[in-house]
Structure 1
Amino acid sequence: MSFAPSQFASNSTIQWSRGERPGGPVLLDFSLGWGKGFVFDWYKGMRFTSVAKIQLRKEYEEPFRHEFILIHLQRGGLCRLDRRGDPNVPTHTLRSEGSEAHDTIHEVARLDEINATSECLVELRPNGTIDLSFILSICFSIRSDPKTQRYNLQRFNCYFFSWTIASIVARHSVSWDTPAQLAESGLLNSALKQKAIEPIAKKITKMAMKSVSEVFMCSLQPRVRQVLRKHRSPTGFIPIRALNVILSTWMKRYMRPRMEPVMRNVIESAMMTTMESTVESLLDSRSSVMRAALSHTLWFDSVRDTLKRTARVALRDAIWALMMKTLKSTNEVDVPVQQHYEPVKVSDSPNLEGRSDFPSDMPTTDQTRKWKVGGILDKILVTGATAITDNSYDTAICSAWGMSDELVGDAQTHEEWVAGWDKLWGSVLQHARNEGQAVIRDVMQTEPPDAGRDEIWKIIWEELGVGFELSGPTVRDCMWDSFEYTTRTIVDTISDAVFSVLQENPQHSFQAALNLSNARKGKGVPRWGEVNHTELQGWIKQRIQKHGDKISRLGLGSASAVQTDIREAMGRVWVHLSKSGKDETQEK
């Protein structure tokens, strides 16, 4: 990497690349597309193209110590690949848009000068399993990216060029697979039980309690508070802020402990029935979803994020189905209450005919229900409040959730969820009003007449719509938050379980070695250490980090931004290459 053109980056290089001087550097120009142009004419003129080993070399000349790739072909041929900036406008390399990159390849007759002026940092030995055309395809992918096709001193320089070629050759030699027995071993089910079911149950219950509290507080409109004060109900006199604290405390102590076990059991049952086949399909590394996700990922430390993105898309519908089954099942479960319902005969109930304050459209039953009366809510609010609270386990708390299946099926984004909310919430309002009136009817039938109680409930029903309108946005966001939390928890659990057992398998014969010595200007003997693919990636990441730090010290940019841009760009090159399907064993 340098500001000024070197011997190989002079104007004569361009002349050679046009064929005016045989044997000189050939410009890696793919403007005509793959398989066309001078570089492919040059390739077809090569006698041997099977690759024996690839070296990433670094020149001794300071200050930037240019890096390049040296390819040893079987039967003794040598090829060198370089990246340099435009020699005619060297200062442009400092600009964000950079300059035209002069990427070249040419045959090398002897190693003497190269060994005298550079050291080998990495040696990769594919042992004839790849062809020189595969190296050209990497260069083609680099030149196909709008950013990496240009030379930039801070990012897409000779270092980037050499690191990318070495990384992709190494990555090409391995595959990442999940063990076939993962789904059968019970590991995944165990992980879901330990890490997903409990937190999801707590989250959904917490959001449900918050929703109920919000509806209740928003329903305490001035008319309701006024009639409560009229009939000496403590709730009519307690300040709203204090009442909110009291209600929140009561919810945590009374309702949540009873709701969470039910929710947990229902989720565990629903999870096994709604997600099993989808998860098994996702875990199959032979499936197109998993294979594509893993094969298109360059960096191993990015695999977990790749798995999460893939799982989120693949499991989305299954998670929606899980939520619907959970919430509908919760509606149908009998949640324990302190006093069970006691059926009483209709003939034992007061005659309600002719009462004008009793809604004419209330549901009727052959046998009325005896609800608990006289609890703390009855004392501080109005008789019947405790009964409605107990009933809310089966209806009010989960009515919105249980009714949302039609909306959820079409709502894949928060915007779509918001757009369909008003219709859903209107249905919930009607459902809650009908259920609540039915409960109060039971109370009226089995308790002594109470004009104050009846007037309070009459005003509550009249103002319920206002309370629902005000509380709707909070409930809407609580529900969406629960869906998103469930999705995130399941996706993270599955992704982590898969990542923990991911196996790196060799695709073909391949060896790699790092120069562990610190020789300078040819002094000292290189000390080589064999490394696997993961260790090689770690070494390249360290090089990227050091480069970013150096750029930062020179005041040429942010270290983290440079490091991220280089890593992401290398990843894009790998994705382009893996999707293009160039045959690395192609021969002329």
Structure 2
Amino acid sequence: MLIHTKGGRTKAQDSMQGLDHYQFYDSDICDKLLPLRLHTVPPKITSSNTQPRVTSKNFLSYPGGDSPWKPLPNSSYPPTHLLIHAAHSMSERRYKFSLPLIQECTISSILAMSLQKGSSLVASANKIIGSSMGHSQLPHRISYPDGWRTGPTEAWYKSQPSTKFTQLQYRKERQKPWEHEYIVVELENGTVCRFDRRARAETLADAFTSEGLGAEDTAHVIDKHDKEHYSAIADNSDLVLCMHFPDGQDILSILGICHGIQQNRETECYSLIRYNCYFFSWMIVVALARRTVDWALLGSDDKLWDELVNTTMAGLNSDASKLDQLKANTRAMLGKKPNHAAPPFSGSSYLLNTLHIALHHTRSNIKESLNELLLKSTVEKTMHAIADMSAKSAAEDAARSHASQSARDASFEAVMDVMWKTMLSDPEGAQLWEDRCRRTEECVRKAAAAASDAALMQFPLTPPATPPSTPSNGSDSEMPLVRENWEDAWDSTWNQIWLNGQSQTKPKDGPATSRIALLAKAAWSKAWKDACLANEEYVPLVSQGVAKHVMKHLPETSIKIDKTAKGTMKRMMRSLVSSDASNSELQTFIQTRISDFVSRVLRLLPKADVSSQIIEESMRRVWVSTTRLEILPV
């Protein structure tokens, strides 16, 4: 069957119906290697005119004469260097051709798609030439230009005769200096699928920058009897580790991880110092293992969540010796001298109740964070931060409420002390007392809120100085030498409310200097100070208790992992000496490889913008993107 690439039609082409069309970006290759003649007879050398031909067993024969192409022996494959040269000569000109449904002819071995750069075949012929089980296919470029589960990769996935796998190999090529790493999974139909990340560029200069260059992530289904591609896996690379999934996994999970990598603005680009084939392999290994364990169960299961809350709150009621020791150690770390035990905080019961309620309110945040965290090494810090933020907010609310209530109680006592004679002697004394209480209560409420806002603006938070509890005689010497911001806020607000929004007078002449106002302010100051000291004591206990409980009860799984093959750096497998390893041990192994990679990069490029933290944070973002995709359940 003669298939022309440009100009005219043949009878053979007229008879081709229902065939998929594919575009290649090429100029020279179409002139020299096409049109191709496909045979169904045993391979043989052809010599008609000037066109090269392909026989039914993937042999490419070339004409003799003055052509630069030389005839091939019957048992040989096309010269790889010629195919690579032809593929590297790609241009913007497009050519269309059709491929018939020929199961016996595997075009992948002809096109030599193991190029490390510049291989940009736009479409895949896998659906046609690899539809039957046990046949190698062309490498497919993973891409979802229109969104997840759409486009060419979705079509490629649906065309696969087998998508389930129970074994994953993490492999490293021996060829230096790059020592390319990739992933291989064994499919149920006896084929394997190889996942690679390579650069797409004519120059690798940009690959050494943090911005990187275009990346090409591919999936290549290979028959185990394929002497070219499958043999190269064992012959040219070493096994880093082999993971077993007894319940099975689907390659859709890996495609989802690849999509997550491509969705991130940084990781979608190829960078030798960050997001290269190593990052690609690390991400797949860690993410697949992470999918086997549900950390968010601590937040979603009612029984487990109640246990977390009860254990944390019980830690706040620990015996005095442990609490005093914790406080002494804290003061020593801050360079402070030991002090005498403070009297019990009158609002401690309310504070504990507030913290208990706040802890329940963090459930959704903790559940969401546990679902989006990838590495166990980041769990404790994240849980501590979530609980600490919630506890601080609740403690501040408790301090506001406690101080305001204390000021209110003190003000009512002061009103009674000031007006008791009027209440007894004046017929309208009861009404006057009620009006005074109402105005005083409003002043206390709004002045306390303003003082709290001003006090919380200070960082670090320090308890305010307690003003005198009795009115001064008016001498300036008895006023505090340095007024706190909260005092100005209190006085200003009190004057404004008491005068019903009229123009303010000076604090020493205004309502804020009255006995009632000063007593209320003194009570607020003392209560606020006590609440702040209690918060310093209890908030760390809450955040530490949550983080400690989560780390102790974090769901874990056991993954069967084969030992490293000969020739691999065995020192990096110390945590995986047995055939069964936890998800945490596997993560530690990958994190060690990340750290070693960063060290090597910095030795070669001391100013390179790369660190383990940068890479691990990028992995977390990719994982978050992956968790939001609709993927087949584990």
2:368 is the alignment partner of 1:292? yes
Match 2:168 to one of 42, 51, 54: 54
**Are 1:15 and 2:121 counterparts?**
yes
1:200 Cα deviation (Å)? 10
1:138 to 250, 254, 257: 257
Q: TM-score, normalised by structure 1?
A: 0.62
SS in structure 2 at match of 1:68: strand
- Say yes or no: does 1:582 pair with 2:620: no
- 1:280/1:198 Cα in 2 relative to 1: closer, same or farther (>3 Å)? farther
Give the CA deviation at 1:53: 1.6
| Correspondences of 1:186-225 after superposition (within 5 Å) | 186=311, 188-191=313-316, 193=318
- Structure 2 Cα separation of the partners of residues 314 and 366 of structure 1: 45
Distance 1:61 1:483 in 2: 63
SS of 2:239's partner is strand
**1:279 counterpart residue number:** 359
Task: Determine if the alignment matches structure 1 residue 77 to structure 2 residue 200.
Answer: no
State the superposition RMSD in angstroms.
4.8
Instruction: Specify the SS of the correspondent of 2:193.
Output: strand
Please name the residue that 1:241 is paired with.
Answer: none
CA distance in 2, matches of 1:52, 1:201: 53
Shift of 1:321: 3.0
Alpha-carbon separation, structure 2, partners of 1:413 and 1:333 = 23
- Work out the CA distance in 1 between the residues paired with 2:210 and 2:583: 32
Distance 2:292 2:538 in 1: 34
SS of structure 2 residue aligned to 1:468? coil
Instruction: Report the CA distance between 1:551 and its aligned residue.
Output: 0.7
CA distance in 2, matches of 1:527, 1:186: 35
- Structure 2 counterpart of 1:493, from 529, 539, 544: 544
**3-state SS of 1:15 partner:** coil
Residue 269 of structure 1 pairs with residue 323 of structure 2: no
Aligned to 1:464: 479
Shift of residue 465 of structure 1? 7.7
TM-score scaled by structure 2?
0.57
| Map of 1:406 onto structure 2 | 449
C-alpha deviation, 1:125, in angstroms? 2.1
What amino acid is aligned across from residue 561 of structure 2 in structure 1? A
Counterpart check, 1:67 vs 2:143? no
Paired residue type of 1:38: P
Structure 1 counterpart of 2:567, which letter?
Answer: A
**Structure 1 residues 514 and 550, CA, compared in 2 at 3 Å: closer, same or farther?**
farther
Q: Which digits, 9 at most, give the CA deviation of each residue in 1:157-176, with x for residues without a partner?
A: 10000000110000010122
Shift of 1:35: 1.8
Letter in 2 for 1:106: H
CA distance in 2, matches of 1:197, 1:269: 17
- Tell me the alpha carbon deviations over residues 96-149 of structure 1, each in whole angstroms, 9 at most, x when there is no partner: 211111111111122322111112212222235432111111100000000000
Superposed displacement of residue 544, structure 1: 0.5
Q: Distance in 2 between matches of 1:135 and 1:115?
A: 22
Distance in structure 1 (CA, Å) of the matches to 2:328 and 2:580: 50
**Relative contact order higher in (CA < 8 Å, ≥ 6 apart):** 1
Partner of 2:600: 550
The one of 567, 579, 582 equivalent to 1:519 is 567
Indicate which of 24, 27, 33 corresponds to 2:141. Answer: 27
Q: How many Å separate the matches in 1 of 2:141 and 2:606?
A: 29
* Greater Cα offset, 264-273 or 406-415: 406-415
Q: Which residue of 2 aligns with 1:562?
A: 611
Is 1:105–2:210 an aligned residue pair?
no
Please, which moves more after superposition, 149-158 or 403-412? 403-412
CA distance in 2: counterparts of 1:403 and 1:89, whole angstroms: 68
User: Could you say which structure has the higher helix fraction?
Assistant: 1
Residue among 206, 211, 214 paired with 1:92: 206
Partner residue, 1:217: none
Are the structure 2 counterparts of residues 31 and 581 from structure 1 closer, same or farther at C-alpha, using a change threshold of 3 Å? closer
SS at match of 1:93: helix
Question: In structure 2, the residue corresponding to 1:65 is in which secondary structure?
Answer: coil
Greater CA radius of gyration, 1 or 2?
Answer: 2
CA contact (8 A) 1:182 1:188 kept: no
- Give me the whole-angstrom Cα distance separating, in 2, the residues matched to 1:411 and 1:130: 57
Q: Could you list the per-position Cα deviations for residues 367-424 of structure 1 after superposition, in whole angstroms to 9, with x for gaps in the alignment?
A: 9xxxxxxxxxxxxxxxxxxxxxxxxxxxxxxxx9998763488789848999xx9xxx
Corresponding residue pairs, total = 432
Deviations 1:171-204 (A, max 9, x none): 0101224445625765642356469976999999
Match of 1:502 among 553, 568, 571: 553
Distance 1:402 1:541, change over 3 A: farther
Alignment of 1:304-453 (within 5 A): 304-324=380-400, 327=403, 364=418, 406-407=449-450, 414=457, 432=467, 435-437=469-471
Alpha-carbon distance in 1 for matches of 2:313, 2:534: 21
Distance in 2 of aligned mates of 1:168 and 1:517: 23
Q: Deviations over 1:267-289 (max 9, x none)?
A: 5433332222332454xxxx433
**Aligned counterparts of 2:145 and 2:607: Cα–Cα separation in 1:** 31
Q: How far apart, in 1, do the equivalents of 2:538 and 2:173 lie?
A: 51
Equivalent of 2:281 in 155, 159, 162: 162
Structure 1 residues 519 and 201, CA gap change in structure 2 (3 angstroms): closer
Once the two structures are superposed, residues 339-393 of structure 1 have per-residue CA deviations (whole angstroms, 9 ceiling, x without a partner) of: xxxxxxxxxxxxxxxxxxxxxx9974769xxxxxxxxxxxxxxxxxxxxxxxxxx
Change (3 A) 1:10 1:116: closer
SS at match of 1:14: coil
- Show the counterpart of 2:307: 182
Q: How many percent identity over aligned positions? A: 20
Q: CA deviation at 1:52?
A: 1.8
Equivalent AA in structure 1 for residue 281 of structure 2: S
C-alpha distance 204-136 of structure 1, shift in aligned 2 (>3 A): closer
Letter of the 1:468 partner, please give it: R
Q: Distance in 1 between matches of 2:248 and 2:444?
A: 57
Instruction: Report the residue type matching 2:196 in the other structure.
Output: D
The CA deviation at 1:25 is 1.4
| Closer/same/farther in 2, CA of residues 10 and 164 from structure 1, 3 Å limit | closer
Q: 1:530: how far off?
A: 2.5
Deviation at 1:577, TM superposition (A): 1.2
- Which amino acid is the alignment partner of residue 302 of structure 1? T
CA change 1:186–1:306 in 2 (3 A) is closer
Which ranges of structure 2 fall in alignment gaps of 5 or more residues? Answer: 1-87, 89-111, 130-136, 225-229, 299-303, 422-442, 491-524, 570-575
C-alpha distance after superposition, 1:309-335 (max 9, x if no partner): 32244444422233235546877999x
**Take 2:323 and 2:447, find their aligned partners in 1: how far apart are those partners?**
21
Deviation at 1:500, TM superposition (A): 4.4
| Structure 2 CA distance for partners of 1:275 and 1:470, relative to 1, 3 Å | closer
Deviations 1:435-473 (A, max 9, x none): 421xx6xxxxxxxxxxxxxxxx43137x73874268969
Whether 1:533 aligns to 2:614 is no
Q: Measure the CA separation in 2 of the matches of 1:565 and 1:137.
A: 22
Does the residue aligned with 2:120 lie in a helix, a strand or coil?
helix
Give the whole-Å Cα distance in 2 for the aligned partners of 1:49 and 1:189.
50
User: Which residue in 2 is equivalent to 1:224?
Assistant: none
